[in-house]
Amino acid sequence: MSLFLTCVTIFFARIADVSLGSLRIIFLGKEKSFLAFCFGFLEILIWFIVAKDALTQGNNWWIVFSYCFGYAAGTYIGSLISERFVKGTLGVQVVTSTCDRTVIDEIRKSGFAVSAIDIKGRNQDSSKYMLFMEINKKRFDSLRNLVRSLDPKAFVVVNETKYVQNGYFK
């Protein structure tokens, strides 16, 4: 096999196995063990074949760079795949800068379910709201932009949610 073809094969195989590894880790976190098992098997099968080819080629820097660039590209592509295809929910907490009821009303008008609690901030004289929302991951940018437009000083915390039971999702 020519050096060029070997480099291209290694590059694309590394993209495949590293992307599978990214998905494997995501599915482990979501307690989808069988999918993680399948992706792990394919990931290591590809890695083993590619590593064997790369190591038998000797000290050729083109092989080394193909291997490294394939790994880096696989990491990037794996993250794009997970963002695009892996469904999930996010827990979003927003602490408003003031006690302004219009923030809650506008968020609800935009189709988000929100629970609100009256809280006191660092300065005990000031009242604020703490808003709790559980949203589909794909709607986060919309919610973030909405919150920024309504209250640019709002404090926002986002966590990936493992499990949700009941509630309202648009």
109-123 residue pLDDT tens: 999 999 999 887 677
SS3 content of the chain, % helix, strand, coil (to 5): 60, 20, 25
- Statement: the pTM of the whole predicted model exceeds 0.75: no
For residues 27 and 41, the answer to whether their CB atoms sit within 8 Å is: no
Q: Quick one: pLDDT at residue 44?
A: 92
Residue 111 token pair: 């189709």
Query: In this structure, which amino acid lies at residue 169?
Result: F
Indicate the pLDDT class of residue 131, thresholds 50, 70 and 90: very high
The 8-class DSSP code of residue 153 comes to T
Question: What confidence tens digit (pLDDT) does each residue in 25-82 have?
Answer: 888 877 888 999 999 999 999 988 888 877 777 678 888 899 899 999 999 998 888 8
Residue position matching structure tokens 């949700």: 164
User: How far apart are the C-alpha atoms of 101 and 98, rounded to whole Å?
Assistant: 9
Mean residue pLDDT of the chain comes to 86
Q: Quick one: pLDDT at residue 40?
A: 92
